[in-house]
Amino acid sequence: MRKLDRKEIDVFLSQSSGWSLKENKLEKVFLFKDFKQSVEFITKIQPIADSMNHHPDVCIYYNKVVVQLTTHDVGGITDLDVELAKKIDSVKL
């Protein structure tokens, strides 16, 4: 695991769809049809996060899921956060 510098973070953001930098965290808002789909999405990302032993901060607002990624141990964004972001983006309902 390696902490990324701002330039590396900007490269990821420019190549990603919907991820942004908020308070030293990667953040993305996912919109769904309803609460049930929001929960299904969280259920699908849970085993991915567990397999990486790296867990996002997640908030559900009915049909909106906000995912935030950071690595608390290093006090910033790491390559592990970027890897998890890409895997989360690949989740299909």
For the segment 11-61, what is each residue's pLDDT rounded down to a tens digit? 999 999 999 999 999 999 999 999 999 999 999 999 999 999 999 999 999
Are 1 and 78 in contact, with CB atoms under 8 Å apart? yes
Distance CA 89, CA 81 (A): 12
Amino acid 24: pLDDT: 95
Task: Please give the structure tokens belonging to residue 16.
Answer: 């990603």
Of 71, 41, 75, 43, the residue nearest 56 (C-alpha): 71
pLDDT band at 93, cuts 50/70/90? confident
pLDDT tens track for 59-85: 999 999 999 999 999 999 999 999 999
Specify the pLDDT at position 7: 98
Q: Classify domain 6-89 by CATH architecture.
A: 2-Layer Sandwich (3.30)
pLDDT number for residue 77:
98
Tokens 């930098």, located at residue = 21
> Alpha helix (H) ranges present in 19-78?
35-52
pTM metric for this prediction: 0.95
d(CA 33, CA 28): 17
